């Protein structure tokens, strides 16, 4: 049955460029059924003071992830796919990927992780009356204008990583509304870029870049279910250099990782929220009503259908935790004990369950990069403890896990002050794979129940495959109904309620964490980051 579906193209393919992995996921006509997966690991680089990814790595990684998926389909079902019902591309949101009229990058890709756009973000936020975070594409562009960068005059197309890959595969300069909402503010009534703000941007830029018209640079906005072009022959060769994959396959609108996270956790209805933890960590809460005021810790983006979402985005997530796990893994190997990575994570996470509720006086700061929510322009990972702390492995690991969620809680407190209410909070990402550990600590940090769906382990690539499946569906219920009836009906969900002892312990940890941010600032000021090449 599955082999025949793959041969006939009754499938949907989702590909997501995450911060540490490029992952491909193939689903059946029933999108809850995963047929094959493939992935490729990659890392950002700090080059000339800016976080970036090599464009060569984009294509090498895409091809490797796709090849691994095709091989997995062959191994599982004895058939290698040569067509699909639909394809969808997702990637990290925001950043600065600008091209000239010859379709060449005018500067190397600048990712969301860069925090050099502070002056631009501050001025635009004041002028627009809404929060424009440093990672947004418009902040990157305006900072280039303020800095008098010569390349601005040559720009003809500004997009995200998902939009760039989609364009190369299809020739279409489009973007899903969720991803577009992290480039430039969206007007609720038109579900398009805010016309007043577009005009105001051009006025602000006129002194340095008089010919700049931002509306002409941005990709056209589409919503979930819209047609977004088809795979060209050149695109098929880019995706599958073997030549087996044919052209003409329809693509759905490319989306950002925040949108695919909402899809993967069925969190696109008002009063629903989700937390996605990876290299960054962010919470998305679908709003019932507009926020009363603008907050630098909160930005408003949209679901893939265009509904407003409050986003609490932290630049630093689980990378430092993963680095410590790697240290312990290497120690085990040096001692002659060889474990797979999942076993190492499981052992260390379960050890954290035996830690004291407040982590025994140990603080872990996960800031590899700057963290605007915490008021940090730059970051240095730190472990700090009081003289009388209980320095045990259990407390150390609990502190590391608390550190992943600490900054997030600072932003979530503002949502509570705005009267935003949640019916449910879902979580997804690799940190939640060890059952009930990170999920329990997140419930303590947010003082609310946290649910993890069985399908969430496939992450954003699966969410993108679901979006592709919806776009190719012959009938078009609302996207919310499609998720509820076609994807999540009967899905296995595990919910953890907050433990009052953990809640009190995390609150105590957070008091010390806030006080210790002064140490983090001093470390960033005193210790110069080594440049990676």
What is the DSSP code string of 333-391? HHTT----HHHHHHHHHHHHTTS-TTGGGEEEE--SS-BGGGTBSS---EEEE-TT---
Q: For residue 364, which of 352, 377, 346 has the smallest C-alpha distance?
A: 352
Spell out the SS3 assignment of 264-322. Answer: HCCCCCCCEEEEEECCCEEEEEECCCCCCCCCCCCEEEECCCCCEEEEEEECCCCHHHH
Convert the pLDDT of each residue in 151-207 to its tens digit: 999 999 999 999 999 999 999 999 999 999 999 999 989 999 999 999 999 999 999
Determine the pLDDT at residue 420.
Answer: 87
| pLDDT tops 70 at residue 29 | yes
Query: Facing residues of 99 across strands?
Result: 105, 157
64 vs 19: CA distance, rounded Å: 16
Per-residue pLDDT, averaged over 298-302, amounts to 91
Q: What is the mean pLDDT of residues 390-394?
A: 98
Q: Where are the alpha helices (DSSP H) in 379-499?
A: 393-417, 438-446, 459-472, 479-482
* Alpha-helical segments (H) within 88-160: 118-128, 137-146
Taking alpha carbons only, the member of 207, 231, 217, 153 closest to residue 184 is: 217
Quote the pLDDT of residue 320: 96
Q: Is the pLDDT of residue 380 over 70?
A: yes
CB 136 within 8 A of CB 184: yes
Residue 263 has pLDDT above 90, yes or no: yes
- Range 289-293 average pLDDT: 86
Q: Cα 320 to the chain's mean position, in Å?
A: 17
Residue 530 has pLDDT above 60, yes or no: no
In the predicted model, what is the mean pLDDT of residues 226-248?
97
Is the confidence at residue 416, as pLDDT, over 90?
no
Q: Given a cut of 60, is residue 377 above it in pLDDT?
A: yes
Q: What pLDDT is recorded for position 458?
A: 65
> What was the pLDDT predicted at 89?
98
CA 327 to chain centre: 26
Between 195 and 271, the more confident residue is: 195
Residues 449-491 have pLDDT tens digits of 999 887 655 678 999 999 999 999 988 899 999 998 889 887 8
Give the dihedral sign, CA 204/208/211/215: negative
As to burial, measured by CB atoms within 10 angstroms (0-12 exposed, 13-18 middle, 19+ buried), residue 464 is buried
Q: What integer is the mean pLDDT of 316-328?
A: 95
pLDDT of residue 272: 87
State residue 531's pLDDT score. 45
Over residues 131-141, the mean pLDDT reads: 96
Q: Please name the residue that has the structure tokens 């996207």.
A: 479
pLDDT of residue 533: 34
What is residue 280's predicted lDDT score, i.e. its pLDDT? 86
Closest CA to 451 of 433, 425, 488: 425
Q: Name the average pLDDT for the chain.
A: 93
Q: How many CA atoms lie within 13 A of 476 on its CB side?
A: 10
Percentages helix, strand, coil for the chain (3-state, rounded to 5) are 40, 20, 40
CA proximity to 483, closest of 492, 491, 493:
491
pLDDT tier, 532 (very low <50, low <70, confident <90, very high otherwise): very low
DSSP-based three-state secondary structure for 2: helix
Residue 365 has pLDDT above 50, yes or no: yes
Looking at residue 457, what is its pLDDT?
58
- Tell me the β-bridge partners of 186: 193
Q: Within 13 A of 11's CA, how many CA atoms are on the CB side? A: 29
């Amino acid at each position: 049955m599955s082999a025949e579906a793959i041969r006939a193209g009754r499938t949907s393919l989702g590909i997501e460029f995450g911060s540490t992995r490029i992952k491909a996921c193939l689903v059946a006509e029933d999108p809850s059924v995963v047929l094959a997966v493939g992935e490729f690991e990659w890392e950002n680089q700090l080059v000339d003071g800016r976080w970036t990814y090599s464009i060569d790595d984009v294509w090498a990684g895409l091809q490797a992830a796709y090849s691994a998926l095709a091989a997995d389909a062959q191994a599982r079902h004895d058939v290698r796919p040569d067509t699909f019902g639909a394809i969808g591309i997702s990637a990290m949101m925001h950043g600065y990927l600008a091209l000239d009229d010859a379709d060449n990058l005018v500067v190397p890709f600048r990712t969301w992780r860069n925090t050099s756009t502070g002056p631009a973000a501050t001025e635009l936020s004041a002028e627009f009356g809404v929060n424009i975070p440093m990672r947004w594409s418009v902040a990157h562009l305006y900072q280039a204008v303020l800095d008098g960068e010569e390349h601005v005059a040559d720009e003809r197309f500004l997009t995200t990583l998902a939009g760039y890959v989609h364009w190369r595969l299809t020739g279409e300069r489009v973007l899903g509304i969720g991803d577009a909402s992290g480039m430039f503010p969206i007007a609720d009534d038109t579900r398009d870029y805010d016309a007043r703000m577009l005009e105001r941007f051009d006025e602000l830029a006129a002194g340095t870049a008089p010919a700049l018209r931002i509306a002409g640079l941005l990709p056209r906005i589409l919503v979930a279910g819209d047609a977004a072009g088809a795979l060209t022959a050149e695109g098929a060769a880019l995706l599958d250099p073997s030549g087996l994959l044919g052209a003409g396959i329809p693509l759905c609108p490319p989306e950002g990782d925040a949108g695919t996270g909402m899809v993967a956790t069925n969190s696109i209805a008002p009063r629903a929220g989700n937390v996605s933890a990876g290299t960054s960590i962010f919470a998305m809460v679908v709003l019932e009503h507009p926020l009363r005021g603008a907050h630098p810790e909160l930005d408003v983006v949209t679901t893939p259908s265009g509904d407003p979402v409050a986003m609490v985005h932290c630049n630093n997530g689980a990378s430092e935790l993963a680095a410590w796990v790697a240290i312990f893994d290497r120690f085990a190997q040096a001692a002659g004990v060889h474990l797979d990575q999942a076993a190492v994570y499981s052992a260390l996470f379960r050890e954290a369950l035996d830690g004291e509720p407040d982590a025994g006086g140990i603080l872990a700061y996960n800031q590899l990069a700057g963290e605007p929510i915490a008021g940090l322009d730059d970051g240095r990972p730190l472990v700090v403890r009081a003289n009388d702390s209980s320095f045990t492995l259990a407390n150390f690991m609990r502190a590391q896990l608390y550190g992943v969620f600490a900054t997030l809680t600072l932003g979530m407190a503002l949502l509570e002050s705005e009267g935003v209410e949640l019916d449910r909070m879902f979580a997804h990402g690799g940190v939640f794979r060890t059952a009930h550990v990170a999920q329990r600590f997140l419930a303590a940090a947010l003082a609310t129940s946290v649910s993890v769906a069985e399908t969430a382990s496939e992450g954003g690539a699966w969410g993108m495959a679901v979006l592709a499946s919806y776009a190719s569906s012959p009938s078009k219920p609302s996207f919310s109904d499609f998720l509820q009836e076609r994807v999540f009906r009967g899905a296995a969900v595990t919910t953890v309620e907050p433990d009052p002892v953990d809640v009190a312990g995390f609150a105590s940890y957070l008091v010390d964490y806030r006080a210790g941010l002064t140490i983090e600032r001093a470390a960033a000021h005193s210790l110069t980051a080594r440049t990676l090449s």
